[in-house]
Structure formats: C-alpha cells, structure tokens
Amino acid sequence: MIKPPHLKNKDLVAIVAPSSRPARPSDLRRAVAIVEAMGLRARPGKNLFKTHGFSAGTDQERLSDLVDAFSDSEVRAVWSITGGYGVLPLLGALPYDLIKKNAKIVIGFDDFSHLSLAVYIKTGLITLHGPNLDRVNNIETFERVKRSLTHCEYEPVQSTDAVLGEFGFPAVEGMGKGKLIAANLTALVSLFGTEFEPDLGGAVLVLDDYKERNDILDRWFNTIYLSGKMSSLAALALGRFDACDSRGAFNMLSFEELAFDRLIEMGLPSCFNLPAGEGSGTVLALGAEVSLDTRAGRLTYLESVLSK
C-alpha cells in the first residue's frame, strides 16, 4: 500500500474536470479561493471549460488535463471540481506506472469515484473519496476536508447526531475489520467485470450515491448481492444518498427499505446513514485498514492514511 504525502503550506493542487464541466466561471473562481484559503496553491486544468456533449471537452482533452496533473512533480494533489459523467472512458488510457512512481493525493467523488477506484486498484495508492470542490459549501465541510488533506491520521467517522441529520442505525449489529472500499454505488457496479474492479473479499465497504432513482439503486445493490461479492464483505455501511428518491417509478419504497431485507437475510454487519458521500463533508481513504462498529455507527482508522 502506498500512502501519498499529506499537504503542506503552499503545496500545489491541480483542479481537474474529468467528467462534466463546471456550471459557471464563478465555480472555478470559488474553487481556487477554497484551495488558497487552505494555505495551498491552485492550478486549474487547461480544458475545464471546454464543452463536448455533457463533458468538459473531448475524452482526449479531459485526459490531457489528468496526465498533466499526474506528470507534474510539483503537483501534490489532484482534486476534482465537479461530478457528472465522463471519467469511465478515460480509465484505460491513464499512466498508472507514472501515477505509482509519483504518489500524490487523489480526491473526489460522484463520477470521480471511477478514477479513485481505478488508481487504487492499479497502483496500490491510497485515494480519497471526498467532496468535489463544488460541494465544499460550508465551513464544516471546509474544515473536515482541510484536515483530511493536511494530517496523516484520520479521526473516526460517527453517525450519532440526530440534530445534524447524521442519525444512523444498524441493520445487523456487529463489528468488521478490513481494507476500506468507499465508492459511489453506480460507479462501483459499472466497474464489475473490468480490470478496475476492486476485490471486496474481507473489505469494509461504504456506499453512497447522488440524484439517482431508488429502483435503479436497488438494481445496482442486487447486482452486488447476486454476484456473491456482498457475502464476502467484513461489513457494510450505507452513507448519504442525497436527492435519491422514487421519481418516475411506481415503487415508493426508500432505498433503506429496499436494502434492509437483503442485509438481514445475509446477517452482514451493516448500518445506514454513515455520514459519507454528497453533503457530508467526510473524506474516506480507499485501502486504509479500518474497523466498523455497526451498532455504534462508527468507522475507525487502524492506521495512518497519509505519509509525512
């Protein structure tokens, strides 16, 4: 396992848009201001505002910004500005040998989860499943992310605060220990059968998603179940599924209800509403050794995440 160095004062952060382009120029100005407010320097990709269909430029233009960021030895972190769609077609062309030799922080979620998973699988580099820059929209998120980028040790993730909307509950009480795999549910399942599919055996899996229909989430969840991979997990936590609902579907059940019966049937230590994913501000480290106490809704790191 390779641990990228934590960020220090004036370190350079590459801002990339390997999926959709930012909605407006002010999003980029704000992203730069956020990075600089953390005591760091920002370098936006050259193609951030290119437009090709729903993406920030053609595949080659988006790939060019990623390769530039990973190739520049001065860049210490590669941070996605927004989600959308577009990372998946780029995975086969990324310079994984170069990424492995020049370890740096890789952070983002939503569609960027494809890249975080692929880099982790192909290089053994710990990558960070955390807010895209356009989702750092309050001081609590800002402080959480800043600490995750600038400290080697990570604090536990706890879902106990009903007032803040972080009230979680177990499906099956228990404790699981293993390597952490944190991912957008749609992104994870779309990597099944590819060279970028993570090994879930003995893992602690944390899933989230954003703006997806409940019946489609149920389809992806059952894909993991039917593959037999879910039964090999040490434990499972379902995080935030913001803006996910039953729109356009006849089934009015929530995703919690759709997943609950499967988890009970398997007796898999599992819990709901761990503060992870869109709107949480939590940063999770793929590949780090963790324990998950589903009764307490508490995920604890058993090792440092970043190096000095």
β 204-210/235-242 pair status? parallel
Closest CA to 35 of 20, 55, 13: 13
Backbone angles phi, psi at 96, to 5 degrees: -65, -35
The per-residue pLDDT for 279 is: 76
The per-residue pLDDT for 199 is: 97
Closest CA to 89 of 115, 69, 68: 115
Residues ≥6 apart with Cβ < 8 Å to 303: 288, 289
- Give the Cα-Cα-Cα angle 85, 88, 91 (nearest 5 degrees): 145
Q: Could you give the residue range(s) of every CATH 3.50.30.60 domain in the chain?
A: 157-301
The per-residue pLDDT for 165 is: 63
In the chain, DSSP assigns E strands to 12-16, 41-44, 75-80, 105-108, 127-129, 157-158, 160-161, 166-167, 169-172, 175-184, 204-210, 235-242, 270-272, 284-286, 289-293, 298-301
The per-residue pLDDT for 264 is: 95
Backbone angles phi, psi at 235, to 5 degrees: -170, 160
Residues ≥6 apart with Cβ < 8 Å to 60: none
Residue whose tokens read 């935030």: 240
pTM of the model as a whole = 0.96
Q: Which CATH architecture has domain 12-150?
A: 3-Layer(aba) Sandwich (3.40)
The per-residue pLDDT for 162 is: 63
Cβ(109)–Cβ(130) under 8 Å?
yes
Structure token digits, residue 297: 């809704």
Determine the Cα–Cα distance for residues 216 and 297; give it in Å rounded to an integer.
26
β 105-108/75-80 pair status? parallel
Kindly report, residue by residue over 157-181, the tens digit of the pLDDT.
Answer: 998 666 666 678 999 999 999 999 9
Class of the CATH-defined domain 157-301: alpha beta
Q: List the chain residues with pLDDT less than 70.
A: 160-166, 249-250
The per-residue pLDDT for 270 is: 97
